[in-house]
Amino acid sequence: MIIQDIRNIAIIAHVDHGKTTLVDGMLKQSGIFRANQIVQERVMDSNDLEKERGITILAKNTSVRYQGYKINIVDTPGHSDFGGEVERVLKMVDGVLLLVDASEGPLPQTRFVLRKALELNLVPVVVVNKIDRPDARISEVVDEIYELFFELGANDEQLEFPVVYAVARDGMATMDPDEPGTDLKPLFETIVNHFPAPQGDPEAPLQLLVNNTEYDTYVGRIAIGRISQGTIAAGQTVTVIDHDGNTRNFRTGRVYVYEGLERVEVPKATCGEIVVVSGLEDIKIGETIADKDNPVAIPPIKVDEPTLEMTFMVNDSPFAGQEGEHITSRKLKARLYKEMEKNVSLRVQDTESPDVWKVAGRGELHLSILIETMRREGFELQVSKPEVIYKRGENGELLEPMEMLLVDIPEDKMGPVMEMLGNRKGEMINMGPNGPGQLRLEFKVPARGLIGFRSQLLSETRGLAIMNHTYHGYEPFKGEIRRRYQGVLIAFETGDATFYGLNAAQDRGTLFVVPGTKVYEGMVVGEHVREQDIEVNICKKKQLTNHRSSTAEATVKLEEARIMSLEEALEYLSDDELLEITPKSLRIRKKFLEKNERARAKKAAQQA
């Protein structure tokens, strides 16, 4: 059977191409909001971190009504580190709206998300967004999109995609870029007419794949997914089938469907609908909710494996427990395993130590968002520097993950940028102009070569570069890459940093702390101008005497300290360092705080 009045679609695109803004326009024009209602921009980005950073991190569901049709929409992240979110939700939909910027064209993440959609045989519709940009190159971008479809092996039906031209910010769409539209009606019409209606038998045994889980303070854990066949009702006894084929029975609580931004309770829902079900304790993503008399599992969700891992551990610094609420290994372990339940591309593994865990994810941003979320929840922890996950090939050779990197830079910065990427074992694939005075370079780079690259690139190009990258696959190990060429300044003793002590130390390098900062022995307080690490006494106070100094009237000025963000601090870490994270502070420290211990560890490493 075909359920004619429903369309299930996902909006996919590269980061910053306008997905969430387009959803805003669709919600407003479908009459979800009152005429006098104040609506914030990017209303789907409800998470605090999403609002602060202006990016989508979690895939979210909503729905709009158009001329008797219900359109269920999934807004997805555009950043490659959150690709697991995209892979997870694509099984809920029958088609995808592929958004492409009219100036930038298809970028690395566009290729990634489109490949996943085509593999699942989803129907595509292309939306060329931001056609009002002064540097828009509409016809060239459409040609690039067709080339991308051919490269990814799209079939004949998928190549027959319609193209809608839009300015999502203004809520405008048109089928002809030379004739500007006034609203999103052309887009709604294309969605209704081109995307297939969901199919399924409402009388068949129930099958529902859980694509997402959330926790509600009133009804507990809830499962979100699409009904493949059958019907689900409140109070119905169902069988849950886990990843290993084991079954357990539950009675469903409440059943909800999406209407706009709200969840509306319904007595029952039938196949083709995206539903929210409560009452299923410990339900996990990828499990199947099935009929109790005839339980049949749906193949579980498969996502690409993580490529980067870090060591998370209990905070054991001298300042441990002073700023956070949750500091014990029990709470830290419970929080990490809880995150793994809903973050499908995250892996957590115990180690020989009860206070240490290996956490693997898709990239630096993926892991740093987890860390930032935990510190806002009151956790204190320490992490090691990010390391890529190696594999062994069939012949026993060492393989490492590679990334496809696209950088847009000013022409005069080509030499320094190519030298930087050459040092990081980058291999140039393509180079071409990208507007007046701009170049676009395409590289294949080891994933470990991109750790710390963004801050170096922005520094070298004075903030004028734009970089995008996505996972490419595993290739033979490319050789050693040197990440840091400078040593660090290490605090000599525990105390408060003084103006006098910092002034004496600033000739040795760049400082990371300001006067009054509490420091401890072994804490990294700056970057040395040379390759060696040295100890500095920044807690030293000026000896006061009754003799007047000839230079007493001279004005002493401290250079501005370099205060790092969480991502910058993670990129900066060396093998023998840890990052201490608390709700209030980020502190880089040596693994061994005492000078003698560091010397012994260095000697043992050289002998090994």
Ligand-binding site membership of 16 (annotated): yes
pLDDT of residue 588: 93
- With a cut of 80, say whether residue 196 has pLDDT above it: yes
List the structure tokens of 69: 């049709």
Question: What is the identity of the amino acid at 120?
Answer: L
DSSP 603: H
Question: What confidence category does residue 553 fall into, taking pLDDT thresholds of 50, 70 and 90?
Answer: very low
Ligand-binding site membership of 252 (annotated): no
Q: Over the stretch 327-351, which tens digit does the pLDDT of each residue have? A: 899 999 999 988 887 777 888 999 8
Indicate if the alpha-carbon torsion angle 333, 334, 337, 338 is positive or negative: negative
User: 364 near 383, Cβ under 8 Å?
Assistant: no
For 578, list phi and psi in degrees, rounded to 5: -130, 160
Indicate if the alpha-carbon torsion angle 162, 82, 41, 16 is positive or negative: negative
Q: Which residue has the tokens 């560091």?
A: 598
Where do the domains of the chain lie? Answer: 6-194, 207-291, 391-476, 488-607
Give the CATH number of domain 391-476.
3.30.70.240
List the structure tokens of 270: 């039938």
Partner residues linked to 98 by β-bridges: 12, 126
Distance CA 25, CA 132 (A): 16
3-state secondary structure 495-527: EECCHHHHHHHHHHEEECCCCCCEECCCEEEEE
Ligand-binding site membership of 21 (annotated): yes
CATH architecture of 488-607: Beta Barrel (2.40)
Question: What is the identity of the amino acid at 492?
Answer: F
Query: Taking Cα atoms as reference points, which of 237, 331, 341 lies closest to residue 286?
Result: 341
Query: Taking Cα atoms as reference points, which of 476, 469, 452, 432 lies closest to residue 574?
Result: 452
Distance CA 94, CA 259 (A): 19
List the structure tokens of 560: 């501005």
* Model pTM score: 0.81
Question: What confidence category does residue 52 fall into, taking pLDDT thresholds of 50, 70 and 90?
Answer: low
User: 406 near 442, Cβ under 8 Å?
Assistant: yes
Give the CATH number of domain 6-194.
3.40.50.300
Ligand-binding site membership of 132 (annotated): yes
Ligand-binding site membership of 130 (annotated): yes
Question: What confidence category does residue 45 fall into, taking pLDDT thresholds of 50, 70 and 90?
Answer: low
Least confident of 209-223, 545-559, 594-608: 545-559
Q: Do domains 207-291 and 391-476 have the same CATH topology?
A: no
Distance CA 45, CA 20 (A): 7
Q: Over the stretch 57-107, which tens digit does the pLDDT of each residue have? A: 667 788 888 888 888 888 887 676 677 777 778 888 889 999 999 888 888
Partner residues linked to 469 by β-bridges: 405
R_g of the chain computed on alpha carbons: 27
Helix or strand run (H / E) with residue 343: none
Distance CA 580, CA 382 (A): 4
- With a cut of 80, say whether residue 35 has pLDDT above it: no
Q: Domain 207-291, what fold?
A: Elongation Factor Tu (Ef-tu); domain 3 (2.40.30)
Ligand-binding site membership of 20 (annotated): yes
Query: Higher-confidence residue: 542 or 415?
Result: 415
Question: What is the identity of the amino acid at 349?
Answer: Q
